[in-house]
Amino acid sequence: MWFLMILVGIISGILGSMGLGGGTVLIPLLALIGITQKSAQVINIFSFIIMAFFILYFNVKKGYTKVFEGIAFCLVGIIFSVIFSLLVKSIDDRVLKICFGIFLSIVALFEIFSFFGKYYSKK
């Protein structure tokens, strides 16, 4: 099980660093190895908080963003992560899976339409 968790962490870290939201990859991968939806979301929030500070550090160092802006976005993300994690405690796992599946489907549709929009606008 530890090997699978390390492998999931590596995959989500690589894809997350490419701009594909880590949670979009991490939560489904954790579900595939048998982690419950709520546990997967807790792991995702914890990893988000850690990665946000590292990403902020490297982006400020390269001059891509300003310290204040980065910290502001990180704090807002952390605050809403905490608020919604408290809300999620009262929601059934099955409902969370359905909601997350709908969310992923909407994201996929946006990506498909965005791809074809860019493809046809070049012609």
pLDDT per position as a tens digit, 68-91: 887 888 788 888 878 887 887 788
**Contacts from 100-107 at CB under 8 Å and sequence distance 24+?**
100/27, 100/37, 104/24, 104/28, 107/24
Among 3-12, 20-29, 55-64, 109-118, which stretch is predicted with the lowest mean pLDDT? Answer: 20-29
pTM tops 0.85? no
